[in-house]
Copies of this chain bind each other. A is one copy, B any other.
Amino acid sequence: MGAARQSLRCTRAGLSAVAGVRAAGVACGLKKNGRPDLALVVADRPATVAATFTLNRVQAAPIQVSKRHLRGGRFSAIVLNSGNANACTGPQGLRDAEATVAEAARILGRPAGEVFVASTGVIGRPLDMAAVRAGIREAARALAPRGGGRAARAIMTTDTMAKEAAVRFTASGRRVTVAGMAKGSGMIAPHMATMLAVVATDAAVQPRLLQTALREAVAASFNCVTVDGDTSTNDMVLCFATGAAGAPPLAAGTRAFETFRQALRQVCLALAKMIARDGEGATKLAEVRIQGARSAREARRAAETVATSSLVKTTLFGEDINWGRIMAALGRSGARFDPERVDLWVDHVPVVRNGMSLGLRAESAANRRLRRREFALIASLRVGRAEARLWTTDLSEAYVRINAGYRT
């Protein structure tokens, strides 16, 4: 009964499902509307940690501090605030991120080097440190094993729902959990986004192994989701392993580790899809699948070009398969193919064969699929065997409304 054969099922539980983790979410006044805006997540004992960060050249102060602390490989806590990104805030921003860490370390009695920090919200405004300090004190008092849900709510910005996911499996006879929380919901693009995620596991995993597994999981999940093609200055996915499940440390190459990798990927993918589904103004979640490309790189570029095309995305909102826009996006993607050999489907419904319409009846059938909340756009280039898969949303009038008025 090898662990790799366990069928993994994803549930809507969050950090509260992981042994050895306490969390809290409070309102400290960074958001003017009084909503929760500061989350604290603590490992009962120092845990191992891995993280991936935005590739944007402009990196917010908390990213710089957390990157430095990652080198130590140990995790005690993370402070996350919403409402203010602490980005483009210069030396003062860096001092504020460090002061946030120091305050949490002091109150929790942990080394500052094991405390991480993440922020999301408006760029270029100084952080209200009095509010942050008060928030940390209040959150520390509120820490609870069942506080994961409150933490998940406290990191929301324009998100309309809290995002949590969990997967359980058995390793060495112990029940092991991987669970996490995330927030979107604009600036969502491959290579990280306005996106924060904290994933915890009660498995025991060495930092290097954890980093490998996380990098892989992020590549197959958060980096395959796009809302608006933008990439923020604050993105961060952090994963810590408490070992509190009591199972022996996972070793590379074992079935138990394979199951863990799979569970981690599943949790990340579930969170990533929630982010897309809850993308600003999104009413649809579309999987863009490119098949038969010359190379994985060309498949990926073709998928990205289709998934980020404003014209394709408005077509999805309009629920009318204007497939010429998909052809045009493929054509400018740089992928090599013969337009007169391309096939397109919506889910299992064929729309285009050899670059030409299969007729109005086929298009009507495709339009019926587009009326659903979720569907796949599939393009077969028929020049090779490489594939790529991305998730995208439609572009609605609400996206514009939200983003034109976000700051005011």
Interface of A toward B, CB cutoff 8 Å: 55-59, 85, 87-90, 122-125, 186-187, 189, 191, 228-233, 308-311, 314-315, 317-318, 320, 322-325, 327-332, 335-337, 339-340, 352, 354-357, 395-397, 399-401, 403-408
Structural contact, B403 and A400, CB atoms closer than 8 A: no
* A89 contact set on B, CB distance < 8 A: 356
Taking a contact as CB atoms closer than 8 A, the residue among B56, B58, B317 that contacts A400 in the complex is B317
Docked-complex contact B328 and A404, CB < 8 angstroms: no
Tell whether, in the assembled complex, residue A311 and residue B90 are in contact, meaning their CB atoms are under 8 Å apart: no
- Taking the closest CB of chain B, its distance from the CB of A98, in whole angstroms, is 17
| Distance from A219 Cβ to chain B, minimum over Cβ atoms (Å) | 17
CA distance A125 to B310 in the complex (A): 22
Q: Are B400 and A328 in contact (CB under 8 A)?
A: no
- The chain B residue sitting closest to A316, CB to CB, is B404
Cross-interface CB contact of A228 among B85, B311, B406, B408, cutoff 8 Å = B311
Within the complex, the shortest CB–CB distance from A333 to chain B, in Å, comes to 8
Residue of B nearest to A87 (CB): B324
- With A400-B396, A400-B400 known as contacts, the answer to whether A332 contacts B231 (CB < 8 A) is yes
Sorted from nearest, which 10 A-B pairs have the closest CB atoms? A123-B324, A318-B404, A58-B331, A314-B403, A56-B331, A57-B331, A397-B397, A228-B310, A231-B332, A58-B339
Contacts A324-B123, A340-B90; A314 near B400 (Cβ below 8 A): yes
User: Could you write out 11 A-B pairs with CB less than 8 Å apart?
Assistant: A57-B336, A58-B327, A58-B339, A88-B324, A125-B357, A191-B332, A231-B328, A232-B328, A310-B399, A318-B406, A397-B400
Which residue of chain B has the shortest Cβ distance to A55 in the bound complex? B332
Min distance, Cβ A380 to any Cβ of chain B, angstroms: 15
Contact, CB under 8 Å: A328 / B56: yes
- Residues of B contacting A327 in the complex (Cβ-Cβ under 8 angstroms): 58, 87-88, 123-124, 233
**Given A90-B340, A122-B322, A230-B309, 10 extra CB contacts under 8 A:** A56-B331, A57-B332, A87-B324, A88-B323, A88-B352, A123-B324, A124-B357, A233-B328, A314-B403, A400-B400
Q: How long is the Cα–Cα vector from A325 to B122 in the complex, in angstroms?
A: 9
Give the CA-CA distance A310 to B327 in the complex, in Å: 22
Query: Which residues in B have their C-beta under 8 angstroms from that of A88?
Result: 323-324, 327, 339, 352, 355-357
Chain B's closest residue to A321 (CB) is: B407
CA distance in complex: A88, B352 (Å): 10
Chain B residues whose C-beta falls within 8 Å of the C-beta of A191 in the assembled complex: 332
- Measured CB to CB, the closest approach of chain B to A192, in angstroms, equals 10
- Give min CB distance, A191 to chain B, whole Å: 8
Given A88-B324, A324-B85, check contact A315 B233 (CB 8 Å). Answer: no
Tell whether A403 pairs with B332 under 8 Å between CB atoms, given A233-B327, A324-B123. no
B58 engages A317 (CB within 8 Å) = no
How far apart are the CA atoms of A90 and B354 in the complex, in Å?
8
The minimal Cβ–Cβ distance linking A360 to chain B, given in whole angstroms, is 10
Query: Closest chain B residue to A337 by CB distance?
Result: B57
A159 vs chain B, min Cβ distance (A): 16
* A318 interface neighbour in B90, B232, B395, B408, Cβ under 8 Å: B408
Known: A310-B229, A311-B228. A187 touches B328 (CB 8 A): yes
Question: Which residues of B are found within 8 Å of A401, using beta-carbon distances?
Answer: 397
Cα A332 to Cα B395 in complex, Å, equals: 21
Contacts of A315 in B (CB 8 A): 403-404
Question: What B residues does A355 contact at CB under 8 A?
Answer: 58, 88, 90
Which residues of the other chain, B, contact A125 by a CB distance below 8 angstroms? 357
Closest CB-CB distance, A230 to chain B, in whole Å?
5
Quick check: A405 and B318 within 8 Å, CB to CB? Answer: yes
